[in-house]
Amino acid sequence: MTVLQRVKSITHRICEQSKPTRDVYLDHLREAASRKPKRSALACANLAHGFAACSPSDKAALAGDVIANLGIITSYNDMLSAHQPFETYPNLIKAAAKEAGGVAQVAGGVPAMCDGVTQGQPGMELSLFSRDVIAMATAIGLSHDMFDAAVYLGVCDKIVPGLVIGALTFGHLPAVFIPAGPMTTGLPNDEKAKTRQLYAEGKVGREELLESESKSYHGPGTCTFYGTANSNQMLMEIMGLHMPGSSFINPGTPLREALTREAAKRALAITALGNEYTPVGEMIDERSIVNGVVGLHATGGSTNHTMHLVAMAAAAGIKLTWQDISDLSDVVPLLARVYPNGLADVNHFHAAGGMGYIIRELLDGGLLHEDVKTVWGGSEGLRAYTIEPKLGENGTVVREPVAAESADKKVLSTCKQPFQVTGGLKMLKGNLGTAVIKTSAVKADRHIIEAPAIVFDSQAALQDAFKAGKLDRDFVAIVRFQGPRANGMPELHKLTPALGVLQDRGHMVALVTDGRMSGASGKVPAAIHVTPEALDGGIIGKIRDGDVVRLDAEIGTLDVLEDPEVLAARPTPDVDISHNSYGMGRELFAAFRNVVGKAENGASVFGL
């Protein structure tokens, strides 16, 4: 098969396995679309509540069904750099809506927490669950049925996937996602990582570490490394939910504001009141999901999306599996080198050609579905996104074809000369269960690790052992009871500096965990999202110190090399995890921990 044939074959498989659930979803969508918001048919008290705080002119407009009303779902808060820029967006959107002959209202806010702040803290155990809370908060905001379309203001890790799930639940409404962009370049990410390792070794103090971190995370916008937040922005553009070229424009710039105004007007143009009705639930189909997965592989994106994309797809009735994601990785080349998969940050990525270049290269290589619907509309499909946005003389957005060649071939390459022939994200299977691994930043001589296990029940325990000098050897770190049911599946980035130091000392080390590492995982091989998790009786819970574990990222296996009968006979360990159930709001999420699904099914509480 050619590459295009293989991509189409996997897409066909996804369509076939999705047909029962997708058909039901589309039936529900069309039923909702047939009702449409009928504001003038609402009881007078209902409608009066809906526009009580509006201006007289907006009240008059909303009294009938002719003027489109745009709902704004916002993740604004002013503590977190990525969300702070959204403070000014509602007024921009309302003004743009008025210019377009419509009305806009803030329909609701959703929580937006930062894994960077909660890393290694109890609050991190709410992080993954926040995605589903965001989806539910989105539904509450839109449940008033006052809107003809919605725009979604979100950027970071769980926020965008949660907004997408919420938007697809209201799939009869058009949806446009509006980003805030990355912060400007600060201290290079590799220098920040070196300081973290020096701190882990006790060679620099807290003052030096804080200075380094503050120079890296220094202003409004997303963090500049290619983690989940910036992977989100890539996904929204390659799936056609952004205005073309809008993902990586810095906050507070005239072009950023022009793109926001344009997005608001476009959302009003694609409602059922006009001639370009584009309900998001029909726009996002199996081809759009495959395009997202292809983009994730080609750019070396976040492993968090092995769960988020599964959950997002399920919200549209589409069944995406880890096997689908892994099979696509086998045919998609790595075209970008962005930290931790390189030295560049997302600003360098954008300057080198960015999303326009990546999309064109993948289209020309037969790796993307071109004939998809997008919020931009028109007959070009995804080809319309092969551009570079610029600010026109009148303050509007103008778009030019993206440059023929990469402006920095160390950052962006071609399908003919990729940095790596596969996407570097692989599914692992073996007697340990199922897991995923990201190898794009891992050197080839570390793709296979076979070593004795050292078992930990928390990341703090591993850090303590490192500080005590007990880990200067070859080993596979087993960090268990970190799955969705055990404690909400926190990210375990506090492990990265210690394991990185040990690897730099020449030891063969790897991590195997039922927890997460996400897009900031780097040079140490890490088999993550192990399913079944330890609390579900997974074999990861039965491994003992000294058991030999083999991780093979080349053929995709993950095994503990012990007699199967011996493993089966071992009792499930009696580990006290009661401390995960209280403090920092964790009490409120007991129901989530009880019903959450497996990582391979999206780690969702919605029964997906």
Whether residue 349 has pLDDT greater than 60:
yes
What is the distance between the alpha carbons of residues 157 and 226, in angstroms, rounded to a whole number? 11
Q: What is the pLDDT of residues 468-505, one digit of tens each?
A: 999 999 999 999 999 999 999 999 988 988 999 999 99
pLDDT class for 608, splitting at 50, 70, 90?
low
Average pLDDT, stretch 258-286? 97
How high is the pLDDT of residue 63?
87
Q: Any idea which of 17-26, 30-39, 138-147, 591-600 has the lowest mean pLDDT? A: 30-39
**pTM of the prediction?**
0.95
- Phi-psi category of residue 433: left, alpha or beta, with phi > 0 → left and psi -120 to 50 → alpha: left
Name the residue ranges covered by the structural domains of the chain: 68-184+219-401, 426-601
If residue 257 lies in a helix (H) or strand (E), which one and from where to where?
helix 254-269
What is the distance between the alpha carbons of residues 531 and 538, in angstroms, rounded to a whole number? 7
Phi, psi of 576, deg, nearest 5: -80, 110
Q: What is the pLDDT of residues 538-560, one digit of tens each?
A: 999 999 999 999 999 999 999 99
DSSP summary character for residue 243: P
- Phi-psi category of residue 366: left, alpha or beta, with phi > 0 → left and psi -120 to 50 → alpha: left
Higher pLDDT, 65 or 339: 339
Is 415 flagged in the annotation as binding? no
Cβ contacts of residue 232 below 8 Å, gap of 6+?
A: 154, 155, 156, 157, 159, 160, 161
Cβ contacts of residue 86 below 8 Å, gap of 6+?
A: 74, 75, 76, 153, 180
Cβ contacts of residue 81 below 8 Å, gap of 6+?
A: 183, 217, 219, 220, 221, 222, 223
How high is the pLDDT of residue 521?
60
Whether residue 38 has pLDDT greater than 90:
no
What is the distance between the alpha carbons of residues 483 and 487, in angstroms, rounded to a whole number? 6
The pair of three-digit structure tokens given for residue 107, joined into one six-digit string: 């329909």
What is the distance between the alpha carbons of residues 527 and 515, in angstroms, rounded to a whole number? 9
Q: Is the dihedral of CA 221, 223, 226, 228 positive or negative?
A: negative
What is the distance between the alpha carbons of residues 412 and 320, in angstroms, rounded to a whole number? 28
Cα 350-497-191 angle, rounded to 5 deg: 45
**DSSP string covering 155-214, please?**
-STTHHHHHHHHHHHTTTS-EEEE---BPPP-S-HHHHHHHHHHHHTTSS-HHHHHHHHH
Return the SS3 of 70.
strand
Whether residue 216 has pLDDT greater than 60:
yes
What is the distance between the alpha carbons of residues 32 and 485, in angstroms, rounded to a whole number? 34
pLDDT class for 36, splitting at 50, 70, 90?
low
Average pLDDT, stretch 330-350? 93
pLDDT class for 56, splitting at 50, 70, 90?
very high
Q: What is the pLDDT of residues 406-437, one digit of tens each?
A: 999 999 999 999 999 998 889 999 999 999 99
Average pLDDT, stretch 303-326? 97
Q: Which of 200-204, 209-213, 217-221, 245-249: highest mean pLDDT?
A: 245-249
Q: Does domain 426-601 have CATH number 3.40.50.300?
A: no
How high is the pLDDT of residue 111?
97
Average pLDDT, stretch 299-315? 96
Whether residue 518 has pLDDT greater than 80:
no
What is the distance between the alpha carbons of residues 242 and 551, in angstroms, rounded to a whole number? 38
Average pLDDT, stretch 514-520? 77
Mean pLDDT estimate for the chain: 94
Is 223 flagged in the annotation as binding? yes
Whether residue 280 has pLDDT greater than 90:
yes
Nearest alpha carbon to residue 192 among 210, 169, 206? 210
Whether residue 7 has pLDDT greater than 90:
yes
The pair of three-digit structure tokens given for residue 520, joined into one six-digit string: 């900031």
Average pLDDT, stretch 373-389? 96
